[in-house]
Each structure stands twice: as structure tokens, then as C-alpha cells.
């Protein structure tokens, strides 16, 4: 594959025409768990699917080339990729993580640290003083999640990379929210990039999977060794579906983003919405950095609506084209209430510190017709403001 190809071309053409037996255009799915030895003591390229599989390797190559890495491992889930990442740490090593990271990531780090696998410090990485103080403690690794989930805070990857280099710290970036189409952290100085391929990379909400891409071959080799040792490599069928999903990634991201831009502008102008979190809005605190390090603002929009629990419930329940479900990045639009759903594993204090309130709602903008989505949001917000009015009438009459 030529290095000069653009992401759309890399994604569409990944491993096409690689079948030497029949000349299949699309690479075949290899489900076999084991492979024969060529003869006594002579191993072929593959022997056992936990250790290596052609279909999974095709997916790893595709993600690796999209991220501009030197090597990649495909894992059974995004959390498996994060588990793999923690195996670069020794007891006593300090890991700096975002204070508002994905709930499952927070839970994993908190509980492994409690068992003494490493030390962890959750830090507001948008605060330069907090970041400096964290680096002064000599961390072995820093994990950045930008845009963050669910508040879409932006961290300057190149600036963190400069600090990390100066302190001998490994920089890992969770790139799930944008995909390599909209952000390529290795080009901004990251050592490692992680994905929950469950989200945009597969994009069809029918696979749970993960991937980890490394800027250097030695870290990639070490992680591939651990992935096999721990038994957390991805399944061939899941890899096949994810590779199929990746072929349309470029076109999907473009449409997700176009609709998200319109949804964010619409919500920003609605009186029931007290706040919109979308990096594409000019008043978003991370707008300038997002514009420089991303090639698009993505398909996730979070909002706070006024009126308390009743208004939130009314809004969520009235939506017809948004399914009330966790996850994101699929073709279908989703609505999520982080405090009771994705971030339910995070304790109340940490939620409050991260700024995740009870009136926060996260939207994953899908590929439905944009006008249909806008109309749906309009009618649900109307229902929500009705719930607010009712509540104040009842309160006033008590
Ligand atoms: C979903 C998600 C994960 C976890 O991935 P799974 O595939 O659900 O295990 C990690 N990081 C981010 C940012 C996510 O959105």
C-alpha cells in the first residue's frame, strides 16, 4: 500500500485482493481456531487464532495505516485495549488519567490501582497548572481522551506530547470519539492510540471491539505479546464486520458531522437548552484547539436542559428517532443520560467534580435525515418545556 494514499482510499482498499487462492476481491473470513503445521516442527505464519489470525490481522493493518502507526493489536473490546495499555505499567508507576474519562476507564484504573498494580491520578487536563503539577510527579504514562466523554472537552495533544517527552512519559490517546478520519494523535506526538471500535470504526452497533495502535514497533510487539498472553485478542468474525464497517468510515464521518453541526446550532438557539457542548461552536472553550488538531468536530453533542428531572425524562421519552441507549458512533441516533447510564460506575463526588450533572444529556447523531432529526428534537423539547411549566404551576399552587 502506498503511504501517500488519503484515509478514504486506505479505508476502502484495506486488504482488497489479498486472497491468492481464489482472487477474492474482499478478503475472506478465516474462522478456524487452529492451523496445521507445514510438517513436523515447521510452523506456518499462523498456528492458533488467539495468537494470530489473518482476518484480525487485516483489521489491525487497516487501523494501523489509518492512524499512521508502526503496529497495532485488535482486542475483544475497548476496555480490553485499555486493559492491555495498563500492562505497560509496573507497580509504583504513576498513570495520569482525565478526571472526566469514560466511566469504564475510570472504574478499571481505580480498581487496578487499589490492588497495587500502579498508582493513578485523575486530573483536569484542560487546566495547565493541574497538568504541570501532574507531570512534576514523574508519571510513567498519561492517558488523554479528547474530545472527552461526555462533555467534549478538548486537550491540546501536541502540547501534552511536548510535556510528556520532556518528562520521559508515555502519551496514550483514546481516539474513539473522532476516529482517525478526524484526528490522528500519532502525527501530533502520541506514542499510543486506543479505540473502542464498537463506536465509529465499526459504526453499525453490531460489534463490541477495540484496538491499540503504537507509534513504535517495540511497544507494538510488547502489546501483541500481552494481548495473546492475557487472551484478550478480538474474534475473527467481529474483525471481519469491523473491517467492513471501516470501508465506509470516511463517508459516515462526513455525514455524522454535517448533521451534528446543524443539531448543535439548533439546540444552541432553543430556550429550554441551557448549555450546548459541541467543539464546533465558536464559544466552546476548546474550539480553537479543536480546529487546529482535528479535521472535523465529530458527531457527538451534549446538552444541559433546564427544568430538572421531569424535563429531562420528558425530553428523552418523547424522542422518536433517537434510541435511549448507551454507546455511540453507529448509523442510528442515540440519546444517553450519562449520570444514570454510561457513568453510573463513577461515584457522585467524582461526577460532580467532572461536571456531569443530572440535567446533562448526550446525543450521538446518526445518519438519519438531518431535517427529521431536527424536527424530532423540536417536538421533544416542546414536551420538555411543557413539563417544566407544569412543575412550576404545581409548585406555585402548593
Ligand atoms: C466505549 C468507550 C470505551 C470502552 O469501549 P468498549 O468497546 O465498550 O469496551 C472506551 N473509551 C471510550 C471513549 C469509549 O467511548
**Which residue do the cell numbers 433546564 mark?**
306
User: Atom of ligand 1 at shortest distance to CA of 176?
Assistant: 13
- pLDDT greater than 90 at residue 390: no
Cα separation of 213 and 194, whole Å? Answer: 6
Q: Name the phi and psi angles at 73, rounded to 5.
A: -125, 135
- Of the residues 174, 240, 252, 362, only one is catalytic, namely 174
The pLDDT score that the predictor gives to residue 2 is: 47
Query: Catalytic: 174?
Result: yes
Average pLDDT over residues 249-254: 98
Mean pLDDT score, 332-355: 85
Q: How confident is the model at residue 1 (pLDDT cuts 50, 70, 90)?
A: very low
| Average pLDDT for 81-88 | 98
Instruction: Give CA separation, 42 vs 35, 37, 38, 47, 392, in Å.
Output: 12, 6, 6, 10, 78
pLDDT of residue 3: 54
All three cell numbers of 383, joined, read 414536551
Question: Please, what sign has the CA dihedral across residues 118, 123, 126, 132?
Answer: negative
CATH number of 249-397: 3.90.1150.10
Closest atom of ligand 1 to CA, residue 79: 9
Strands of 323-324's sheet in order across:
273-277, 300-305, 360-364, 334-336, 323-324
CATH of 7-246, one of 3.90.550.10, 3.40.50.2000, 3.40.640.10, 3.40.50.150: 3.40.640.10
Q: How far are the Cα atoms of 6, 19, 53, 236 from residue 48, in angstroms, in the given order?
A: 34, 20, 7, 12
More reliable by pLDDT, 390 or 303: 303
% residues pLDDT > 90 (the chain): 87
Identified catalytic residue from 102, 240, 277, 278: 102
Instruction: Put residue 369 in one of left, alpha, beta given phi > 0 → left and psi -120 to 50 → alpha.
Output: beta
Reported as a single tens digit per residue, the pLDDT across 175-184 is: 999 999 999 9
Whether the ω angle into residue 275 lies within 30 degrees of 0, i.e. cis, is: no
* Per-chain mean pLDDT for the chain: 94
In this predicted model, which residue has the larger pLDDT, 344 or 371?
371
Statement: residue 388 has pLDDT above 80: no
* Mean pLDDT computed over 53-73: 98
Residues in the chain: 398
Helix/strand/coil for 58: helix
The answer, yes or no, to whether any atom of ligand 1 lies below 6 A from the CB of 77, is yes
Phi-psi map region of 41: left, alpha, beta (phi>0 left; psi -120 to 50 alpha): left
Q: Is 234 in the pocket of ligand 1 (CB under 6 A)?
A: no
* Residue 370 host element (H or E): helix 370-397
- How many DSSP H helices and E strands does the chain contain? 14, 12
Q: Where are the domains of the chain?
A: 7-246, 249-397
- Residue 278 to residue 97: CA distance in whole angstroms: 22
106 given a catalytic annotation? no
pLDDT, one tens digit per residue, over 158-212 is: 999 999 999 999 999 999 999 999 999 999 999 999 999 999 999 999 999 999 9
Tens digits of per-residue pLDDT, 324-340? Answer: 999 999 999 999 998 88
Amino acid at each position: 500500500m502506498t503511504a501517500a494514499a488519503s484515509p478514504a482510499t486506505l479505508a476502502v482498499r484495506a486488504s482488497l485482493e489479498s486472497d491468492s487462492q481464489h482472487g477474492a476481491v474482499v478478503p475472506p473470513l478465516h474462522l478456524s481456531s487452529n492451523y496445521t503445521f507445514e510438517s513436523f516442527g515447521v510452523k506456518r505464519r499462523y498456528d492458533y487464532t488467539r495468537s494470530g489470525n489473518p482476518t484480525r490481522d487485516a483489521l489491525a493493518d487497516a487501523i494501523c495505516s489509518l492512524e499512521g502507526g508502526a503496529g497495532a493489536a485488535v482486542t475483544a473490546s475497548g476496555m480490553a485495549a485499555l486493559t492491555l495499555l495498563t500492562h505497560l505499567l509496573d507497580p509504583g508507576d504513576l498513570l495520569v488519567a482525565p478526571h472526566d474519562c469514560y466511566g469504564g476507564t475510570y472504574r478499571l484504573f481505580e480498581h487496578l490501582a487499589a490492588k497495587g498494580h500502579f498508582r493513578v491520578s485523575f486530573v483536569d487536563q484542560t487546566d495547565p497548572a493541574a497538568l504541570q503539577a501532574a507531570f512534576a510527579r514523574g508519571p510513567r504514562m498519561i492517558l488523554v481522551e479528547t474530545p472527552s466523554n461526555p462533555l467534549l472537552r478538548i486537550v491540546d495533544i501536541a502540547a501534552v506530547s511536548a510535556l510528556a517527552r520532556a518528562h520521559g512519559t508515555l502519551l496514550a490517546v483514546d481516539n474513539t470519539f473522532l476516529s482517525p478520519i478526524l484526528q490522528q494523535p500519532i502525527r501530533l506526538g502520541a506514542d499510543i492510540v486506543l479505540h473502542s471500535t464498537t463506536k465509529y470504526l465499526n459504526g453499525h452497533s453490531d460489534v463490541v471491539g477495540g484496538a491499540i495502535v503504537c507509534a513504535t514497533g517495540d511497544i507494538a510487539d510488547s502489546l501483541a505479546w500481552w494481548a495473546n498472553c492475557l487472551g484478550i485478542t478480538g474474534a475473527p468474525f467481529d474483525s471481519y464486520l469491523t473491517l467492513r464497517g471501516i470501508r465506509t468510515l470516511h463517508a459516515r464521518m462526513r455525514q455524522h458531522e454535517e448533521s451534528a453541526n446543524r443539531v448543535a446550532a439548533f439546540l444552541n438557539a432553543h430556550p429550554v437548552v441551557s448549555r450546548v457542548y459541541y467543539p464546533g461552536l465558536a464559544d466552546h472553550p476548546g474550539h480553537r484547539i479543536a480546529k487546529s488538531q482535528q479535521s472535523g468536530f465529530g458527531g457527538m453533542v451534549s446538552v444541559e436542559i433546564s427544568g430538572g428531572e421531569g424535563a429531562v425524562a420528558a425530553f428523552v421519552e418523547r424522542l422518536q428517532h433517537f434510541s435511549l441507549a448507551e454507546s455511540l458512533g453507529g448509523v442510528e441516533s442515540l440519546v444517553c443520560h450519562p449520570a444514570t447510564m454510561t457513568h453510573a460506575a463513577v461515584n457522585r463526588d467524582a461526577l460532580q467534580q467532572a461536571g456531569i450533572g443530572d440535567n446533562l444529556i448526550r446525543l450521538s447523531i446518526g445518519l438519519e435525515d438531518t431535517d427529521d432529526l431536527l424536527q424530532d428534537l423540536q417536538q421533544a423539547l416542546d414536551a420538555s418545556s411543557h413539563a417544566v411549566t407544569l412543575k412550576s404551576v404545581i409548585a406555585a399552587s402548593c
